[in-house]
Amino acid sequence: MTELAPAPVPSRFNIARHCLAENARLRGDKTAMILVGDADKAGHWAETRMSFAEVDLAVRRLANGLLSLGLPRGSRIMIRMANDADYALTYFATIAAGHVALASSAQLTPGEAAFLLENSGAAAVAASADLARDLSLPAGVVLLDPPTLARLKAFDPLPDYADTAANDPAYLVYTSGTTGRPKGVLHAQRAAWGRRPMYAGWLGLSEHDVLLHAGAFNWTYTLGVGLVDPWAMGATTVLYNGQRDITVWPRLIAKYRATIFAAVPTLYRQILKYGEVQAHDLSSLRHGATAGEALQPALLAEFQETLGKPLLEALGMSEVSTYISTGPGMTIKPGSPGKPQSGRRVAILPVDAAAEGGNEPLPAGEIGLLAVHRTDPSLMLGYWQRPDEEAQVYRGEWFVGGDLAAIDADGYVWHHGRNDDVMNAMGYRVSPAEVEAAIADHPAVAEVGVTELRVRADVSVIAAFIVPREDARPRPSELDAFIRDRLAAYKCPREWRLVATLPRTANGKVQRKKLAEAPLL
């Protein structure tokens, strides 16, 4: 269970079994998960604790309940639930039953959730009571509301986890691309096996660790680093679902003696500014782990100076998880996320695929497209029902995700942004076309362009540039209210600018990279 060297993927493999079965046998009484809620007036946090034996039993009970529904093997089950323990149990039970888990965010609007439901062809939806009310279910889709889920959780436990092949589908995650609607990224059971290089190459993770993750269950960063990874190694995970409070994170590290803390750079910056870190005993912490956004050198320096601990960065994507990182004991080069993890085959390919040698790796120092070899076990099975887009990301033996980068003579990767217009909002990939389409419906908007705008050296926001209709001057508050009924909060612009025209190419296409130069009204 602690073997980290690259090894062939087992032919039969199930993510839930990989994370739970051996732990239940070898360390059943050990705490697997601590879910921390809001504190009472006396300052005592609410807690849900589950041992590995309890998680294993609960997952196998619910898996058997799901099988009682008679759904075909490999059915998609959409999870639209609150950020609680049932979310995690439902996710793993779905995989344990041989079905495909579709984790979705509670932040999604009803329209966004309906798109995922329809596009995925989900056979069932597990939904919290409040989130079930806004769902309009197609005929034949089974609603797993809280009473139904409680009944399914009471089944006798499944004797064993589904006997799935390594290449069988396990989970589906939706992510933004260059087109308007999110696309489903389908992952195989082998994806968990493919995460093994990051345990030594980034997290420094062992069964003795207590990992505190700052994300919500629906996020792949949390499901992976906050659940799959610690459980695959027999470690304890701590998650928080109380009210948003920056000061809570240092207190949680101190109380639960967390050895690893995982978050996005934005949260680290806020913690250093408002978290009163010096008031707490953080001696248990070995290092912080960060991904989702680029780590600015100034933030890295401030973290290390304030806490005296390293902050280890990783670069990844929904299609392949993290594959480049700085690990414990490595020299940190500020501005670089690190090196390809052991066992990964990573290269820089020419931007122009049609050029001679377009599939041949570039030499050290040259900027091109960051590519991962398609034999990597963590690489997706493909885009759900998007064959044209899937064909565009493969070049011979390489998967190319759209990141511009160079690899220096020491093997460190230097990120140079995206080769497309995809934006990054708090670690989420956001399509500008999707945001533009939602804004364009406003009656005062004639034209709109959306891009990621750097407002400080270490802060970028989503910005919308609007050409208003004649005699209209929509206010930011009016646009905010309009867009929040159509898009999840993390997709909504933080900056609104009224402009006279949008910069366009000779063919009339909006030049998003030049939107900041548009003349203001």
Give residue-wise pLDDT tens across range 226-242.
999 999 999 999 999 99
pLDDT of amino acid 320: 94
Contact status, residue 341 vs residue 281, Cβ threshold 8 Å: no
CA–CA distance, 453 with 106 (Å, rounded to integer)? 26
CA–CA distance, 138 with 410 (Å, rounded to integer)? 54
Give the tens place of pLDDT for each residue, 326-338: 999 999 999 999 9
Residue 511 lies in a domain: yes
More confident residue, 434 or 348: 348
pLDDT of amino acid 3: 35
User: Residue 11 contacts by C-beta under 8 Å, 6 or more apart in sequence?
Assistant: 165, 166
pLDDT band, residue 371 (cuts 50/70/90): very high
395-400: average pLDDT? 94
pLDDT band, residue 357 (cuts 50/70/90): confident
pLDDT > 60? residue 1 = no
pLDDT > 90? residue 201 = yes
pLDDT of amino acid 5: 45
User: Residue 45 contacts by C-beta under 8 Å, 6 or more apart in sequence?
Assistant: 36, 37, 38, 39, 242, 255
User: Residue 133 contacts by C-beta under 8 Å, 6 or more apart in sequence?
Assistant: none
CATH code: domain of residue 474:
3.30.300.30
pLDDT of amino acid 437: 83
pLDDT band, residue 180 (cuts 50/70/90): low
Task: Characterise 26 by phi-psi region: left (phi > 0), alpha (psi -120 to 50), beta (else).
Answer: alpha
484-510: average pLDDT? 86
Q: Kindly state the DSSP code that residue 203 receives in the 8-state scheme.
A: I
CA–CA distance, 211 with 234 (Å, rounded to integer)? 11
Which H or E run contains 303?
Answer: helix 297-307
Give the tens place of pLDDT for each residue, 118-144: 999 999 999 999 998 888 898 899 999
pLDDT band, residue 2 (cuts 50/70/90): very low
Q: At residue 198, what is the residue type? A: M
Q: How many domains does the chain have?
A: 1
Output the six-digit token pair for 338: 């690190």
Residue 479 lies in a domain: yes
Residue 437 lies in a domain: yes
Output the six-digit token pair for 459: 């802060």
User: Residue 122 contacts by C-beta under 8 Å, 6 or more apart in sequence?
Assistant: 75, 76, 77, 78, 102, 116, 141
Residue 452 lies in a domain: yes
Q: Count the neighbouring beta carbons within 10 Å of the beta carbon of residue 356.
A: 7
Residue 502 lies in a domain: yes
pLDDT > 90? residue 372 = yes
pLDDT band, residue 178 (cuts 50/70/90): low
pLDDT band, residue 296 (cuts 50/70/90): confident
Average pLDDT in the chain: 92
CA–CA distance, 102 with 185 (Å, rounded to integer)? 10
Which H or E run contains 99?
Answer: none
Sequence-ordered alpha helix ranges (H) in 30-121: 52-67, 85-96, 110-120
Strands, sheet with 495-498, edge to edge from the N-terminal-most edge strand: 445-456, 459-468, 495-498
Output the six-digit token pair for 482: 């309009």
Question: Per mean pLDDT, which range of 294-298, 352-356, 399-403, 504-508 is the poorest?
Answer: 504-508
pLDDT of amino acid 507: 59
Residue 230 lies in a domain: no
pLDDT of amino acid 460: 85
pLDDT of amino acid 177: 66
pLDDT of amino acid 512: 86
Q: Bridge partners of 260?
A: 211, 287
Sequence-ordered alpha helix ranges (H) in 371-422: 387-392
Contact status, residue 362 vs residue 350, Cβ threshold 8 Å: yes
Residue 465 lies in a domain: yes
pLDDT > 60? residue 32 = yes
Closest CA to 23 of 236, 208, 204, 231: 231
Closest CA to 460 of 487, 434, 433, 422: 422
pLDDT band, residue 471 (cuts 50/70/90): confident
Output the six-digit token pair for 151: 């009944």
Give the tens place of pLDDT for each residue, 378-390: 999 999 999 999 9
> Domain of 493?
431-517
Residue 494 lies in a domain: yes
pLDDT > 70? residue 117 = yes
Question: Per mean pLDDT, which range of 91-100, 151-160, 404-413, 453-462 is the poorest?
Answer: 453-462
Residue keyed to tokens 């190419």:
505
pLDDT band, residue 4 (cuts 50/70/90): very low
